[in-house]
Structure 1
Amino acid sequence: MDILTTYNPSTGEKLADYPLMQQEELDRRLQEAGEAYRYWSALEVAQRSFAVGNLARELDRDLDDLARLMSEEMGKIRPEAEAELKKCIRLCEYYAAHAEAWLADEDRSHGEVKAMVQYAPLGAVLAIMPWNFPVWQVLRCAVPALLAGNVVLLKHAPNVTGCALQLDDLFVAAGFPEYTFQSLVIDVDQVESILARPLIAGVALTGSTRAGAAVAQLAGKHIKRSVLELGGSDPFIVLADADIDKAVETAVQSRFGNAGQSCIAAKRWIVVEEVYESFRVKAIQKIRSLRQGDPVQDDIQVGPMARPDLADQFMEQYNRSVSEGAEVLVPCIRNACHVSPGLLGDVTPEMTAFREELFGPCGVLIKAKDADDAIRLANDTIYGLGSTIFTADHALAMQLAQQIHSGNVFINTIMRSDPALPFGGVGMSGYGKELGREGILEFVNKKVVVG
C-alpha cells in the first residue's frame, strides 16, 4: 500500500504516515458524495447557513490544536496560524449571514415577459488546494460552494494531510452530513479519473501556473467548470510623495509574512528614483531586524519554508538573480528549510527576480524613473493577481489603478483577500472569482425560468 508521509519543516522530524486511498475506497467515497449531494442540495439555504455558522464555532473551539498542526506541518508561525483561522471564522460568519439573500430567486421580468433567475447547485466541486494557507484556501472555496448546495471533495497538498483530515472532523462536528465535505488522500495521478466522473461539476485550484494549466486542460477535456487562482508577482509601487516609513513597514509585512510563501505577497518593490535610496536604507534596517527560526517560538517573525524542495527552487532563483547582476543588500542564508530574510537591489526586467515568481523570503527592489515608468514596470509581467500603490495623492492613485493589469489594487495599505470582496487574477494568475457574492455564484446553474 502506498504511504504518504508528512514532516516538520523546522526540525525535519517525521510527523505521520497516511495510506493513499485505493480505488475501491475512492469509488465508495464518490458514491457516498453523490448520496450526500441529493440530501444536501434539497435543503433550504437557511439550513445550510446554519451548518456554516456552526462550523465557525467549531473552528473557534479547535483553534489551538489546528494552529499547532499548521505550524508543525508547513512551518507557519503561531500568530499567523491563529490569524488565518480567525479569518476563516469571519468567512463562515459572513457567508452564513448573506447566502440566503444572494441565492434567492431574482425577478428578471421585462415588458410582458415574466421571468426569473434561479441559482441552483451543480453537483460536486473538486477542490485542489495548496499548503501555504492550509485552512483558509480550502474554506474560501468550500464554504460558498457548500452554501450553494454543492458537495466538496478536497484534494489537499500532501504535506498538510493532517490539516485536511482535521477539517473533515470539524465539518462533521458542525452538523454537516457525512461526505458533504470530505478529504481524499490521493495522488495527483488520480485527479483526472475523478474529474471525469459525472458527479463532478467543477474544479477549483489554487496553486502554481503550471498546475493550473494542467487542470484547465483536464477541465476543458471533460467540460467541467473551473476556477483558477494561480501565481503572482505583485508590484508594490512607491511614489515620491509616499509615507516612506509606512511603505517600508507594509512592504516588509507583505513580503515576509508566511516566510514569503504567498501568492499576493509584494514581490516587486518598484520605487521611484527620488525616494529609492531612502526606501532602500530603511528596508535594509527593517529586514535585518526580522527574527527567523522555529515557528513555535514566541519571538519568531519568519518561520521556515514548507519543504526542502521549495527551498531548493527558491535559492536557485535567488542565486541566478545574483549571477545576473542583482545587488545583494541583505543575503538569504539557508539552513535546511530555514532561509533568512533577504533583499536584492537594482533588479532589472531581464533578471530572474523580476520575471519569475520568487516564492520565498526575499524582497526585490526596482528603480523607476517616475509614476508612468512605475506602471510600465508593474505591467511588465505575465501575472496579474494583486498590486499596491503608495502615494499621498489619492486621485492619482485611482488613475493609476485603472492602468494596472491585475485583479486587485490596494492603495496605501497591505494587499489581502477579504470575505466580502471578489478575489482573483488575470493573465497567468488565473481566472474566476472567489469570495464576495461573485464567489458563491461560480458553481451554480443560473437557471432562467420564464412564464
Structure 2
Amino acid sequence: EPAPSDSERSFIAFDPLGVVLACMPWNFPYWQVFRCIAPALAAGNCVVLKHANNVTRCGIRIAEALREAGVPDGVFTMLVLRSDDVARVIADPRIAAVSLTGSTGAGASVASAAGQHIKKCVLELGGSDAFIVLEDADVAEAARVGVASRFLNAGQSCINAKRFIVVESVADAFENAFIDRVRQIRVGQPTDPETTMGPLARADLRDNIERQLRESVTRGARLRFGGERPGGRGFFLTPAVLTECDISMAAFTEETFGPLAAIARVRDEDEAVQLANHSEFGLGGNIWTRDRDRGIALAHRLETGGVFINGMTHSDPRLPFGGVRGSGYGRELHRFGIHEFVDIKTVWLPPQS
C-alpha cells in the first residue's frame, strides 16, 4: 500500500505472522471457524485449530473440506486436546498469534498465556446485547426481530439480543407483541421439522438460566411466560420472558446464555443509553427508531463493537466484527480482520542521488 513520505518511495507491506492458533467454540461449529481462519489464511498465515471437544467431528469435516479444496498440507492443522493444554500450545515458539472465541473466563486465560510470551491475541468473548426500543419505533417489527434474535440457537449465541430496554410509552404494546410471538415458538427435537427451538447444549447451561430466572423473580421481576422443563430427552427449557427488570437482577447484569428474555422500561432515550452501557460487556447493540439520524446519533453513544439500527445483529464478512470491554478486543472479518494477523511493516527508500 503506497504511503507518501519524505522519501522517493515508501510503502506499507502486510507480511504474514506465521502460524495462528484458533481456539473455537461449539455453538456455531462451522461458521465461527471459517470467520476466524479465512482472514488468517488470506493473509498468508498457517492455522492450527483447537476446536471445542464436543464438536470434534465438525473440526475434522472442516479439515477434510479444506484439503478437498486444495489447501496444501501443513497450511491447516487440527489438534484434539483439552482446554487445559492450550497454554502449552501458545507457548510453543512456532505459534505466532492466537484467536479465541469463547467465554470471558477463557479469554482471560488465553490472553494471560499469550501475554507471557508477547504474542498477538484476538478475543471474541461473551455479550449481553441491549435491544433499545424508542417511542417512535415500529413496535410490531421490533418485537418480531427481537424474538428471532433472542431465541436463535436456543439463546446460545454471544450476539443474541438479551436485554430489552423499552421506552415506557410503548412498553405495553411491545411486551404484548413480544410475548405473543414467543408463544408461537415450538420447542422440540432438532430433527423434527416442526421444531423452531431445540434444547440447550449442556445441563449446566440450563441450570444457570433457571438460577438467573429464579434470582430475578425473587428481586421483583415478573415471569410472563415460560421457563419450564418440558418432557422428553434433552436439556430443554421453554422460552422465558421476564418483565419489570432492573440492574439488581441476574437476568439483566449477567450474560444469559439460553432462552431467557429480560425486559426493562425506561423514561427516555438518555436513560435507555445509560442502562444499555451498564454492563461489563460491549459486543453489539440494537436501536429501534423511525428516525435514522436519531439512531445514528445514539449508536455513537453505545459502548459496543457494533450497533444495528432497525435490524438484527449479525456477523457479515463485509463488516468488522468484535467487541470492547468484557467482550474482548481485536476484530474479525473485513480488512481489519486480515490486518489482525499481519506484520504491518513500513518500507522506506531514500531519494536517489
Shorter-chain TM-score category? over 0.9
Correspondences of 1:144-155 after superposition (within 5 Å) = 144-155=39-50
Does residue 1:440 correspond to 2:335, yes or no?
no
For 1:395-415, what per-residue CA distance to the aligned partner results, in whole angstroms no more than 9, with x for missing partners?
A: 111111111111101111111
> Cα RMSD over matched residues?
1.0
Does residue 1:311 correspond to 2:206, yes or no?
yes
Does residue 1:251 correspond to 2:146, yes or no?
yes
Does residue 1:123 correspond to 2:14, yes or no?
no
How far apart in 1 are the matches of 2:85 and 2:52? 14
For 1:36-95, what per-residue CA distance to the aligned partner results, in whole angstroms no more than 9, with x for missing partners?
A: xxxxxxxxxxxxxxxxxxxxxxxxxxxxxxxxxxxxxxxxxxxxxxxxxxxxxxxxxxxx
What 5-or-longer segments of structure 1 have no aligned partner? 1-105
1:348 is aligned to 246
How far apart in 2 are the matches of 1:330 and 1:113? 70
Matching residue within 263, 284, 291 for 1:386: 284
For 1:232-288, what per-residue CA distance to the aligned partner results, in whole angstroms no more than 9, with x for missing partners?
A: 110000011111110000000000011101101110010000010111111111101
1:405 is aligned to 303
Contact 2:99–2:123 (CA under 8 A) maintained in structure 1: yes
How far apart in 2 are the matches of 1:224 and 1:401? 33
**Runs of 4+ that moved beyond 3 A:** none
1:48 is aligned to none
For 2:65, the aligned partner's letter is L
How far apart in 1 are the matches of 2:143 and 2:30? 29
SS at 2:284's partner residue?
coil
Does residue 1:206 correspond to 2:101, yes or no?
yes
Does residue 1:265 correspond to 2:160, yes or no?
yes
How far apart in 1 are the matches of 2:285 and 2:338? 24
Matching residue within 25, 28, 45 for 1:133: 28
Does residue 1:418 correspond to 2:313, yes or no?
no
For 1:265-318, what per-residue CA distance to the aligned partner results, in whole angstroms no more than 9, with x for missing partners?
A: 110010000010111111111101111110111111111111222222222222
Correspondences of 1:145-224 after superposition (within 5 Å) = 145-224=40-119
How far apart in 2 are the matches of 1:315 and 1:167? 35
Matching residue within 311, 328, 348 for 2:223: 328
Contact 2:209–2:260 (CA under 8 A) maintained in structure 1: no
For 1:391, the aligned partner's letter is T
1:357 is aligned to 255
Q: CA deviation at 1:331?
A: 2.2
Contact 2:20–2:95 (CA under 8 A) maintained in structure 1: yes
Matching residue within 374, 380, 387 for 2:272: 374
For 1:137, the aligned partner's letter is Q
Contact 2:135–2:169 (CA under 8 A) maintained in structure 1: yes
SS at 2:300's partner residue?
helix
How far apart in 1 are the matches of 2:127 and 2:337? 20
For 2:95, the aligned partner's letter is I
For 1:401-435, what per-residue CA distance to the aligned partner results, in whole angstroms no more than 9, with x for missing partners?
A: 11111110111111111100111101101000000
TM-score, with length taken from structure 1: 0.75
How far apart in 2 are the matches of 1:144 and 1:109? 27
Matching residue within 330, 347, 351 for 1:449: 347
For 1:314-342, what per-residue CA distance to the aligned partner results, in whole angstroms no more than 9, with x for missing partners?
A: 22222222222211011211254111111
Q: CA deviation at 1:113?
A: 4.3
For 1:183-228, what per-residue CA distance to the aligned partner results, in whole angstroms no more than 9, with x for missing partners?
A: 2110112111111111101000001111111111111001110000
How far apart in 1 are the matches of 2:4 and 2:270? 47
For 2:16, the aligned partner's letter is P
For 1:428-447, what per-residue CA distance to the aligned partner results, in whole angstroms no more than 9, with x for missing partners?
A: 01000000000011011112
How far apart in 2 are the matches of 1:334 and 1:122? 49
TM-score, with length taken from structure 2: 0.96
Correspondences of 1:92-103 after superposition (within 5 Å) = none
1:108 is aligned to 3
Contact 2:7–2:348 (CA under 8 A) maintained in structure 1: no
2:38 is aligned to 143
For 2:33, the aligned partner's letter is V
How far apart in 1 are the matches of 2:321 and 2:200? 25
How far apart in 2 are the matches of 1:155 and 1:443? 17
The alignment-based identity, stated in percent, is 48
2:185 is aligned to 290
For 1:201, the aligned partner's letter is A
SS at 1:177's partner residue?
coil
How far apart in 1 are the matches of 2:75 and 2:263? 46
How far apart in 2 are the matches of 1:127 and 1:313? 27
SS at 2:192's partner residue?
coil
SS at 1:387's partner residue?
strand
How far apart in 2 are the matches of 1:140 and 1:367? 36
How far apart in 2 are the matches of 1:203 and 1:303? 32
For 1:443, the aligned partner's letter is F
What 5-or-longer segments of structure 2 have no aligned partner? none
1:239 is aligned to 134
